[in-house]
Amino acid sequence: MKPRQQRMALIAGVLVGVVVAVGFGFRAFQENLSYFFSPSDVAAGKSPTGRSFRLGGMVVNDSVQREAGSLTIDFTVTDFANAVPVRYTGVLPDLFKEGKGVVVRGQVGADGRFVAQEVLAKHDENYMPPEVKDALAKSRQAENK
């Protein structure tokens, strides 16, 4: 090959690589976007069905229930306007507590119960996940109207 052709081949190879990578990227991106909804959004039917999303709010006091010795736990998440029952099976993060903020990732089941695959609590005891803070502020605004 002449130098010119070589350079063209190189550029073509790079271009094909970039296009393939970008294609893969957008597909992976679309599939892995996870949206955040508040309990009020869920009550209003804004949340998707059959697709997982994140739900955040406060864990209602005295709502945590579990059968002794079982890994499955039931609790209620609220933004003080609406509440959604949640079920989770597994080990809970350290910062999960009644009366504190929480974000759970999962899907709403046929019975209206949110089945969580993951419970996130990446904040310290006083700090609220920003999503939850916004959601609470919104529901408070709606109340005052």
Binding site for another protein (CB under 8 A): 1, 3, 6, 9-10, 14, 17-18, 20-21, 24-25, 28-29, 31-36, 54, 66, 68-71, 89-95, 122-125, 127, 129-131, 134
Residue with smaller CB distance to another protein, 20 or 142: 20
How buried is 42 (Cβ within 10 angstroms: 0-12 exposed, 13-18 middle, 19+ buried)? Answer: buried
Sign of the CA dihedral 62, 36, 134, 91? positive
DSSP class per residue in 56-107: EEEEPTT--B--TT-SEEEEEEE-SS-EEEEEEESPPPTT--TTSEEEEEEE
Residue with smaller CB distance to another protein, 111 or 124: 124
CB of 71 to another protein, least distance (A): 5
Residue with smaller CB distance to another protein, 55 or 81: 55
